[in-house]
Amino acid sequence: MGYGLKMSLALSAVVIAYLLMYSGTKFDPADVQDKKVLITGASSGIGKQMACHFAKMGANLVLTARRENLLKEVIEKCKKLSPNPTASHAYIVADMKELEKTKEVIKFSVDSLKGLDILVLNHARIPKMFDMWFGSQQNLTDLATDMDINFRAYVHLASHALPHLLKSKGRIAFVSSVAEKIPIPGVAVYTASKHAMQGFFGVLRQEMVMRNTGVSITSCMVAGTGTEQVMENLQESEGETAMDFHLADPTVVALEIVQATVARQYEVYTSSDILTSILVFLGKISPELADQLTMKAFFG
Ligand SMILES: *[C@@H]1O[C@H](CO)[C@@H](O)[C@H](O)[C@H]1NC(C)=O
């Protein structure tokens, strides 16, 4: 057998294995009925939309975020959307930079839901766009807070939730970013926090399998998405041209995450503009070329 033929046989085998892996992960909305779900960062953006999707499918919910007035509104919305008369919808106010609060959030959730099936780690401090790193004292101070919110809180929440997820053979979803696959100028610490969570949960996922726990972990690779916060940041830095960025619809992205999590998918790339998809693909083949194109795309 020639080398070329062997190579293409090997490649076909990989492609078929990949297709088999992913065709096995079917989403069934009936799986969500009566599930006990905690979502962080649920007052706006993708978190809020995930809460609505879960509510519509009849889940029991606990939502957490900093802003109580917004949380209350989301809860009201969930109550209206839920087809399940016995479903419960509760919230707890928490700022994820206070790591000691994470224990309380999990305790409240488990008490209120009487267990926990799905933990959706979604909250983040989204940086202002195109803010470069100068290594100033301010930058270093922000580094500590941002890593607490965007990374360490994820580990703390997952750790406190784990005993309950082991009982329910539950699911964890963590919202990462394509910034984990390709560096994007102006968001150094945010990008670093996504790498950190990918590393941590990548290992935890292996250990869940090795310990035979039945707990699944889904990484969610989110690209530019038009959430309230992102649009606000963009308008601040870009003015009218903010509309030129082809951002994904948060409702669509949220549904993609919910489906992948419920189907226990290994990872999901949510809706993305074509440029980002190309850059992510290119990043695997030639990181240097992907870098050059990314810098061009962001700074013309
Ligand atoms: C870093 O600090 C400088 C000076 O304080 C500031 O102008 C810049 O916006 C900061 N960068 C980030 C990423 O916060």
- Ligand 1 pocket: which of 130, 138, 141, 237 to mutate (most atoms <8 Å of CB)? 138
Atom of ligand 1 nearest to the CA of 131: 13
pLDDT for residue 22 is more than 60: no
Average pLDDT, the chain: 91
Assigned domain for 18 exists: no
Assigned domain for 298 exists: no
Assigned domain for 16 exists: no
User: How far apart, in Å, are the Cα atoms of 127 and each of 146, 221, 278?
Assistant: 9, 17, 24
pLDDT for residue 152 is more than 90: yes
pLDDT attached to residue 235: 79
What is the identity of the amino acid at 233?
Answer: N
pLDDT for residue 165 is more than 90: yes
Residue with tokens 């949220």: 254
Number of CB atoms found within 10 A of residue 107's CB: 13
Atom of ligand 1 nearest to the CA of 136: 2
- What DSSP character marks residue 248? B
pLDDT attached to residue 1: 52
Assigned domain for 6 exists: no
What separation in Å is there between the alpha carbon of 142 and the centre of ligand 1?
9
Number of domains in the chain: 1
Assigned domain for 170 exists: yes
Assigned domain for 49 exists: yes
pLDDT attached to residue 21: 57
Strands 118-121 and 36-40, bridge-based pairing: parallel
What separation in Å is there between the alpha carbon of 121 and the centre of ligand 1?
27
Provide the token pair at 8.
């293409």
Assigned domain for 1 exists: no
Residue with tokens 């190579």: 7
Question: Under DSSP, is residue 211 helix (H, G, I), strand (E, B) or coil?
Answer: coil
Q: Domain range holding 277?
A: 30-293
Q: Over the stretch 82-137, which tens digit does the pLDDT of each residue have?
A: 999 999 999 999 999 999 999 999 999 999 999 999 999 999 998 887 789 999 99
**pTM for this predicted structure:** 0.90
- Ligand 1 pocket: which of 126, 128, 131, 143 to mutate (most atoms <8 Å of CB)? 131
What separation in Å is there between the alpha carbon of 22 and the centre of ligand 1?
42
Residue with tokens 């007035």: 69
pLDDT for residue 183 is more than 60: yes
Ligand 1 binding residues, C-beta < 6 A: 131-134, 136, 138-139, 142
What separation in Å is there between the alpha carbon of 132 and the centre of ligand 1?
6
Assigned domain for 193 exists: yes
Q: Write the CATH number for 264.
A: 3.40.50.720
